[in-house]
């Protein structure tokens, strides 16, 4: 009986936790251990320079601008994001690779348009000029060309680096993770592209993000619009980067950049404006463009429209049309995109309406969180020439034309959205499911430390996260406090007399179970009983982290 094992009454009041009652009763039987005084810390020895002056090492205890340390609770959420996305990528046939965190500078040069200024260049090391990777796409294309790969579905989860203005609370950082999935190889038009769009929808909804839109455009259509508007071929990428700012700036500001900064005529800018302000469903925008004789007469735009016609059949088959907006203002400034381009946005993506005013009032030059939005939470597109560019530049035979399309999820930005759902009590920083305890008394009481270790080992071997106090004669209150801190929902208790009879007590933990004596089971069967009880702990079998991640 519980009373015989612990010396406690069977009925416990609901307002008193089990650990409090254990401590009060056990303290009457067991002498408390006196606190060990903290030893005086001897003064540091004075280090003197040759001139007899003190030498002090002074450092700033901070992380570099645009970076941060991640706490234990943060990492629980982040690991769940990584696991969710990597499982999704595997489900779609992905295989993972890894590439160096820095590349030869010439590999990255000329791939990112105006954003090339954000690349972190490293010092000359033995004659090699290198830079930290800006994304995972260019290293992947280099990998495909270097290894003469004809087709691959690859995913890669790793850090990238950009010397951008940080907005830390919005997940816009200088060091951040990307989760990429790409399909390389020659396939029928828009088939891989449609699956990538489905992966975006699956990925975000599985992370509990449902209020998003995939803004989508086609570079061939956009380039055709520029051509019929009077933009020369050499100016197309410059104008693309201007148009890409329409999600952050009004049309008047973008038009001014085109005319004043990038040398286009007023007529050209106005013509571009007629098209890039157009957005709506895939069908609506496609119909509007396909009925425009000027657009249809342009070779590039017409080719893009034909591909969009195929895409609509596939997105309908996947049932994802409702998540997609055909938005002609989307340009994606990176130079390597050649076809479909897209980015996923939420209500939090946009900057505040009074962003300019907030920027003027901001007192921080280190962080732009006050006046910027989260931005896109996933983005990507088709890049058919990048692998061939590397193959030709390395002297390989031409013809290594490996078309590619992919998506990159921004972990930090997604994390910032998920963390808004949680309160401090939602998540525990450790995964402990069972706490092994032992209670007894008398002169011959050893504390059952080896026995606790044996029980813990059996639970570990069964794949169950388990802990116990690292002390021979552990105070009952300390054991319950440790169990509470771990967040373990279940305890396996070794009572002095019960364990000697081959019995273990399995008990739910928490104030609401203070009156529950637990279940006495045979030691030979306790693992199966623990597994069964753990399956009943979480609502619908889903733990707190999974519920938070899925937005349940």
User: CA Rg, the chain, in Å?
Assistant: 31
3-state secondary structure at position 209: coil
- CA dihedral angle for residue 430, residue 435, residue 441, residue 446, rounded to 10 degrees: -80
Residue 162 known to bind ligand: yes
The answer to whether 505 touches 54, Cβ cutoff 8 Å, is no
Residue 136 known to bind ligand: yes
Residue 135 known to bind ligand: yes
3-state secondary structure at position 78: helix
Rounded Cα–Cα distance for residues 438 and 538 (Å) = 26
To which H or E segment does residue 383 belong? Answer: none
3-state secondary structure at position 395: coil
Strand segments (E) across 65-174: 95-96, 102-104, 130-132, 152-161
With CA atoms as reference, report the closest residue to 196 among 183, 207, 208: 183
The answer to whether 225 touches 275, Cβ cutoff 8 Å, is yes
Query: Which H, E and C letters describe 9-46, residue by residue?
Result: CCCCCCCCCHHHHHHHHHHHHCCCCCCCCCCCCCCCCC
With CA atoms as reference, report the closest residue to 465 among 484, 448, 490: 490
Residue 332 known to bind ligand: yes
**Which residues sit opposite 155 in a β-bridge?**
96, 181
How far from 112 is each of 86, 133, 241, 276, 448, CA to CA, in Å?
Answer: 26, 12, 10, 22, 63
3-state secondary structure at position 213: strand
Residue 421 known to bind ligand: no
3-state secondary structure at position 119: coil
The answer to whether 221 touches 438, Cβ cutoff 8 Å, is no
How far from 157 is each of 81, 120, 450, CA to CA, in Å?
Answer: 11, 20, 41
The answer to whether 157 touches 85, Cβ cutoff 8 Å, is yes
The answer to whether 240 touches 341, Cβ cutoff 8 Å, is no
Burial code (b: 16+ CB inside 10 Å, e: under 16) for 538-549 equals eeeeebbbbbbb
Q: How remote is the C-alpha of 279 from its chain's centroid?
A: 29
Structure tokens at 517: 């004596």
Which segments are annotated as binding site? 135-137, 162, 178, 182, 332, 336-337
Binding site for L-histidine: which residues?
Answer: 135-137, 162, 178, 182, 332, 336-337
């Amino acid at each position: 009986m519980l009373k015989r094992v612990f010396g406690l009454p069977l009925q416990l009041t609901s307002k008193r936790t089990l650990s409090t009652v254990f401590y009060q009763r056990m303290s009457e039987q067991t002498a408390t251990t006196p606190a060990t005084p903290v030893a005086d810390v001897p003064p540091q020895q004075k280090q003197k320079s040759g001139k007899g002056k003190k030498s002090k090492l002074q450092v700033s205890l901070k992380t570099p601008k645009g970076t941060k340390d991640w706490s234990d609770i943060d990492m629980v959420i982040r690991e769940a994001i990584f696991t969710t996305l990597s499982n999704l990528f595997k489900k779609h046939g992905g295989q993972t690779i890894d590439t160096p965190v820095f590349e030869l500078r010439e590999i990255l040069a000329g791939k990112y348009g105006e954003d090339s200024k954000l690349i972190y260049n490293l010092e000359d090391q033995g004659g090699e000029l290198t830079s930290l990777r800006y994304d995972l796409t260019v290293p992947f294309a280099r990998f495909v060309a270097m290894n003469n790969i004809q087709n691959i579905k690859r995913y890669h989860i790793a850090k990238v680096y950009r010397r951008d203005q940080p907005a830390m609370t919005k997940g816009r950082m200088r060091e951040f993770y990307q989760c990429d999935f790409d399909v390389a190889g020659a396939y029928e038009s828009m088939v891989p592209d449609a699956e990538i769009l489905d992966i975006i929808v699956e990925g975000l909804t599985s992370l509990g993000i449902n209020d998003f839109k995939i803004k989508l455009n086609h570079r061939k259509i956009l380039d055709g619009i520029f051509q019929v508007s009077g933009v020369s071929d050499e100016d197309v990428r410059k104008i693309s980067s201007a148009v890409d700012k329409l999600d952050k700036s009004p049309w008047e500001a973008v038009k001014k950049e085109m005319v004043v900064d990038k040398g286009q005529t007023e007529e050209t800018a106005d013509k571009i404006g007629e098209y890039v302000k157009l957005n709506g469903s895939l069908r609506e925008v496609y119909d509007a463009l396909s009925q425009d004789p000027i657009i249809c007469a342009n070779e590039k735009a017409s080719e893009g429209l034909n591909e969009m016609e195929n895409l609509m059949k596939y997105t309908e088959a996947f049932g994802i049309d409702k998540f997609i907006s055909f938005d002609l203002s989307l340009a994606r400034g990176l130079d390597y995109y050649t076809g479909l381009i897209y980015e996923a946005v939420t209500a939090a993506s946009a900057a505040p309406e009074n962003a300019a005013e907030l920027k003027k009032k901001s007192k921080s030059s280190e962080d732009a969180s006050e006046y910027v939005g989260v931005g896109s939470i996933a983005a990507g597109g088709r890049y058919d020439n990048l692998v061939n560019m590397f193959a030709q530049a390395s002297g390989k035979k031409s013809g290594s034309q490996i078309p590619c399309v992919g998506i990159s999820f921004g972990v930090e930005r997604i994390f910032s959205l998920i963390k808004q759902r949680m309160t401090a009590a939602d998540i525990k920083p450790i995964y402990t499911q069972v706490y092994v305890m032992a209670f007894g008394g008398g002169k011959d009481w050893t504390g059952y430390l080896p026995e606790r270790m044996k029980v813990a080992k059996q639970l570990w071997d069964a794949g169950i996260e388990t802990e116990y106090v690292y002390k021979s004669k552990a105070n009952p209150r300390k054991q319950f406090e440790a169990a509470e801190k771990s967040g373990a929902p279940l305890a396996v208790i070794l009572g002095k007399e019960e364990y000697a009879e081959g019995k273990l007590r399995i008990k739910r933990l928490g104030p609401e179970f203070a009156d529950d004596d637990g279940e006495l089971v045979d030691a030979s069967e306790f693992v199966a009983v623990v597994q069964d009880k753990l399956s009943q702990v979480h609502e619908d079998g889903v733990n707190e982290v999974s519920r938070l991640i899925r937005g349940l």
